[in-house]
Amino acid sequence: MATNHIFFDNASTTSTDKEVLKKMEPFFKDEFGNAASLHSFGQRASAAVDESREKIAKFLNCNFEEVVFTSGATEADNLAVLGIIFANGYPHKKLHIITTAIEHLAVLETCQYLEKKDVEVSYVKPHKNGVVKFEDIEKEIKDNTVLISVMYVNNEIGTIQPIEKIGRLVLEKNKDREKRIYFHTDAVQAALWCEMDVKKLGVDLLSLSGHKIYGPKGIGALFVKQGTIIKPIQHGGHQEFGLRPGTLNTPLIVGMATAIGLIKKWDLLKVEKLRNYMLQKVQSKFDGVSLNGSLGKRVKNNLNLSIKGVEGEALLLGLDMEGIAVSTGSACSSGSLEPSHVLVSIGLSHEAAHGSLRITLGKDNNKEEVMHFLKILELLVKKYRKMAPKI
């Protein structure tokens, strides 16, 4: 990649891998059949969908019928949360959900929506290191708890949550409960880096997204363990075992499954080395830099830094002028700068949250790009610190 187009924002999305594009192409062209049609066009599309579902099932160590395709992880998260609530006594019973304060909005806002509809929700806070303690989840369990939804890897600070431990806890609790608890994890940011065997994790529901793993945008999947009592949240055809109506998007399904099949072939160890090199250089070059969230319990491509005396947004724009794409922990919404709910929940002041920069490396980045970034960052930090009013 040319140094004037450096993409360090791989948590927001990834490029589509060449092999993925190649595998999708025929399904945009001659093989355009509807997978539900009985003729041979349909049969060929259906065979491609089956093969893709099989690949994803193998990746998750689950059954073929336990993989439900959706339009992305936002829909998968909505289906998991709303689908469980609607199928397990709502609105006649007062139900309770446990989630965390650092979830992606796809889960967080779905829970907030349900709260307005009389569902109880507990938002467990992470510790300062950005990791939620399973004991804190356990403390919140009540007789009417029907769902625990905890993300696997946080999309801003990259911290890995103790999913296996929570899975074991739920299994234990369910032994002597009349009404069982379901366990969902949003594994969007984990798929490239973490254990994805749903049996080992002990989850009932798990969300995936195509575009975070070098696959296409607009496709995702929800693992739904056999026997889970869940309702569809859309109504229409009977595709996806009756859980998600709509004509199957064959090219995107093929693309997502191809990306999943390639994960083991990519040199992701290189990404970790580059990330560590970058961190070490940043820490030695600048004073007043802190890493947000644990380094040890973090995916290998993520750095989330607060740089004292500098606005994250200004750095982002300055870097962008130099062709370098990163992200920041503050989102400009309705004219005011809202600090990230994740950074605030791990105890950062609004000032530190505004000074944050998220750098997420990808499989195609190289050392030359990292060195160029460090050079530009140094210039920008010096410039902005000089400009800042002295108090």
Instruction: CB nearer to ligand PLP: give 46 or 71.
Output: 71
Instruction: CB nearer to ligand PLP: give 46 or 149.
Output: 149
Instruction: CB nearer to ligand PLP: give 46 or 330.
Output: 330
Beta strands in 162-211 (DSSP E): 182-186, 205-209
In this structure, the chain runs to a length of 391
Instruction: CB nearer to ligand PLP: give 17 or 186.
Output: 186
Which amino acid would we find at residue 58?
K
**Cis before 91 (ω within 30):** yes
The single residue listed with the structure tokens 């195509």 is 210
Instruction: Look at residue 176 and give its three-state secondary structure.
Output: coil
Instruction: CB nearer to ligand PLP: give 149 or 209.
Output: 209
CB of 380 to ligand PLP, least distance (A): 26
Q: Which chain residues interact with ligand PLP by CB under 6 A?
A: 72-74, 77, 104, 106, 151, 155, 186, 188-189, 209, 220
The single residue listed with the structure tokens 């366990």 is 183
Which amino acid would we find at residue 288?
G
Question: Can you tell me the distance from the alpha carbon of 329 to that of 337, in angstroms, rounded to the nearest whole number?
Answer: 10
Cα–Cα separations (whole angstroms), residue 10 to 13, 22, 54, 97, 220: 5, 21, 27, 30, 17
CB of 317 to ligand PLP, least distance (A): 21
The single residue listed with the structure tokens 């109504």 is 235
Instruction: CB nearer to ligand PLP: give 72 or 339.
Output: 72
Question: Can you tell me the distance from the alpha carbon of 299 to that of 332, in angstroms, rounded to the nearest whole number?
Answer: 26
Question: Can you tell me the distance from the alpha carbon of 342 to that of 104, in angstroms, rounded to the nearest whole number?
Answer: 9
Question: Can you tell me the distance from the alpha carbon of 61 to that of 278, in angstroms, rounded to the nearest whole number?
Answer: 35
Residue 367: other Cβ atoms inside 10 A: 12
With residue 254 as reference, give the H or E element that holds it: helix 250-262
Question: Can you tell me the distance from the alpha carbon of 314 to that of 332, in angstroms, rounded to the nearest whole number?
Answer: 12
CB of 388 to ligand PLP, least distance (A): 31
CB of 347 to ligand PLP, least distance (A): 21
The single residue listed with the structure tokens 């089956």 is 50
Instruction: CB nearer to ligand PLP: give 156 or 289.
Output: 156
Catalytic residue among 62, 111, 194, 332: 332
Active-site residue, 332 included:
yes
Question: Can you tell me the distance from the alpha carbon of 92 to that of 238, in angstroms, rounded to the nearest whole number?
Answer: 27
CB of 198 to ligand PLP, least distance (A): 17
CB of 189 to ligand PLP, least distance (A): 5
CB of 358 to ligand PLP, least distance (A): 11
CB of 209 to ligand PLP, least distance (A): 3
Residue nearest to ligand PLP (CB): 72
Tokens (6 digits) for 76: 């998968």
Cα–Cα separations (whole angstroms), residue 348 to 130, 156, 215, 298, 301: 11, 13, 34, 18, 22
Instruction: CB nearer to ligand PLP: give 24 or 282.
Output: 24
Which amino acid would we find at residue 35?
A
Cα–Cα separations (whole angstroms), residue 389 to 286, 306, 339, 386: 19, 19, 21, 8
Active site residue ranges: 332
